[in-house]
Amino acid sequence: GNSVTQMEGPVTLSEEAFLTINCTYTATGYPSLFWYVQYPGEGLQLLLKATKADDKGSNKGFEATYRKETTSFHLEKGSVQVSDSAVYFCALRKDSNYQLIWGAGTKLIIKP
Amino acid sequence: DAGVTQSPTHLIKTRGQQVTLRCSPISGHKSVSWYQQVLGQGPQFIFQYYEKEERGRGNFPDRFSARQFPNYSSELNVNALLLGDSALYLCASSLGGGESTQYFGPGTRLTVL
């Protein structure tokens, strides 16, 4: 079946550090891939997406590249800020089924 | 423009009771999806509606039901509540096409005692 696996958290970094949050998926065909972010006390917000292999999604300094050969969609940011502290979710959607399938989430803590 | 709105924000019920959660999508969006998010986990898909028709259903018991109204708002009903139904219930709206991005509301926190 379709599934998403994320690295376990919490991930704790100092401000201005480089961030990578790993995400791998299992799916047949060509799913669309998403990163959502959930700030404390808020709802889920779409961070970025990619709909086909080798696409790069980017937003707010975050980037993720759709790698079909490694079935991965790792989230990266060159220099994190305290305000990036949140829970990050990787998700996929199959073309034939509109539901989102989610990873368990990775809590990111940025210390000043 | 207003985003996805959900009501109520918080709800406390006892086992065996019934609950109705409400969602208003972004103006112009015709599809609504419902997800259950248990603390510390990713959301789990419950239902999707498009143009008032059920398009998809996740692996949830028949105690869970939903409907979509002509104005595209939606209700999620849960009967015979169990302690395990305690979760954040999220509503997401989208335009409805195959590549539509889903936009989420703030959720309704349901606590079953």
Residues from chain B contacting residue A104 (CB–CB below 8 Å): 40-42
Name every chain B residue with its beta carbon within 8 A of the beta carbon of A46: 101-103
Q: Is the pLDDT of residue A11 over 90?
A: yes
SS (H, E, C) chain B: CCCCEEECCEEEECCCCCEEEEEECCCCCCEEEEEEECCCCCCEEEEEEECCEEEEECCCCCCEEEEECCCCCEEEEECCCCHHHCEEEEEEEECCCCCCCCEECCCEEEEEC
**pLDDT, mean of residues A32-53:** 92
Task: Decide if pLDDT at A89 tops 70.
Answer: yes
B70 touches chain A (CB under 8 A): no
Rounded-to-integer distance, Cα A39 and Cα A34, Å:
16
Q: What is d(CA B110, CA B79) in angstroms, rounded to the nearest whole number?
A: 13
Contact yes or no for A90/A75 (Cβ under 8 A): yes
Beta bridge partners of A26: A3
Per-residue model confidence (pLDDT) at position A96: 59
Mean pLDDT to the nearest integer, A17-46? 92
Q: Residue B1 is which amino acid?
A: D
For position A75, what pLDDT does the model report? 98
Asked whether residue A97 carries a pLDDT value surpassing 90, the answer given is: no
Neighbouring residues of A80: CB distance < 8 A, sequence distance ≥ 6? A13, A15, A16, A17, A18, A19, A108, A110
Name the one residue in this structure whose structure tokens are 């034939």: A96
Chain B CA closest to residue A42: B106
CA distance B63 to chain A (A): 20
Report pLDDT digits (tens) over B18-30: 999 999 999 999 9
Digit-coded pLDDT (tens) for B33-60: 999 999 888 999 999 999 999 988 999 9
Q: Note the pLDDT of residue B98.
A: 60
Q: Give the confidence band of A29 by pLDDT, cuts at 50, 70, 90.
A: confident
Q: Which residue carries 């690295």 as its tokens?
A: A7
